[in-house]
Amino acid sequence: MSAVSLRNLCKRYGAVPVLDGIDLEVPAGSIYGLLGLNGAGKTTLLRLLMGFLHPSGGAGFLLGRPLGQLEGKERARVAYVPEQPAFYPGLRVGELLRFVGALHPRWDPDAAKRYLDAFGLPPERKVGALSTGMRTQLALGLALSTQPQLLILDEPASGLDPVHRKRYLQALLEACAVPERTVLLTSQDLGLVERTCDHFALLHDRRIQVAGPIAEILDAERRLLVSAGPSASSALAALDGVRTVRAEAHGFLVSGRVEPDALRRTAGVMKVQVLGVSLEELFWDYVGE
């Protein structure tokens, strides 16, 4: 079953298209990283999922229900942490917890206390007096204390120093271990996605360029250093599965879902060296830098 399922989803702001034909399946139980450059439309996509924005076209489903139609107890199964969470600044941390706890049907007070302790958040401190990093941790603690089936995080861990970031990611990874819990997060941080996620999608040019299990995708992708004269360039580019061919000192760097033997058989190719592919290299390949 998919926790999130999008079919040809489109979003325009006025006449400006931001998302155009998004197809995406986020399997239940996965930890899914949505990558993309600034302005790619990641936050827009999350806001569409939450029903804060209406799609301009296409269809989407969250926990099996059409977007914007999750209500009551079903809705309480979804927790969303925006990039800059907003709290009542005059409330103390302890008061905020009691306030949310009184409203939320899935609230776990013991978990809330554990997160406060783990993140070192003083219950007596006014929320408005917390640092940005402390508010980031408070938002995650609150979200996890509602025991979400689907946790949606926009740019988690941004603005945290290395020590607090480690604690934050530790809490997140432990929370991800709960069976049937799905986590969908956006991030600019490829390392964070590679370490925490099992699936990813890359949003670029208004579309999902590549999506699926990280290990499977990296296994199928190749980067190949090809020794060949300049005339081999167009033959290499024409091979099935080749995505990019870049000139290098003594030949070309070829990337794509292509078998090394297909390159070895290409006229003018003298030698093919197979290089590993990281998520970062794949990212650069698609965004074209």
* Residues at the contact surface with ligand ATP, assessed by CB under 6 A: 13, 18, 36, 38-44
Q: Tokens 């969908």 correspond to what residue?
A: 184
Cβ neighbour number for residue 162 with a 10 Å cutoff? 6
Closer CB to ligand ATP, 36 or 256, in the complex: 36
Closer CB to ligand ATP, 24 or 272, in the complex: 24
Strand pairing partners for 182? 150
Alpha-carbon span 40 to 286, nearest angstrom: 13
Rg (CA), the chain: 22
What is the helix (H) or strand (E) element at residue 87, kind and residue range? none
Nearest distance from C-beta of residue 18 to ligand ATP, angstroms: 4
Nearest distance from C-beta of residue 34 to ligand ATP, angstroms: 9
Closer CB to ligand ATP, 16 or 163, in the complex: 16
Closer CB to ligand ATP, 58 or 256, in the complex: 58
Q: How many helices (H) and strands (E) does the chain have?
A: 11, 14
Nearest distance from C-beta of residue 240 to ligand ATP, angstroms: 32
Nearest distance from C-beta of residue 36 to ligand ATP, angstroms: 5
Sign of CA dihedral 55, 60, 62, 65: positive
Closer CB to ligand ATP, 80 or 252, in the complex: 80
Nearest distance from C-beta of residue 41 to ligand ATP, angstroms: 4
Closer CB to ligand ATP, 155 or 221, in the complex: 155
Nearest distance from C-beta of residue 135 to ligand ATP, angstroms: 17
Cβ neighbour number for residue 224 with a 10 Å cutoff? 24
- Residue at 130: amino acid letter: L
Alpha-carbon span 200 to 38, nearest angstrom: 17
Alpha-carbon span 151 to 184, nearest angstrom: 6
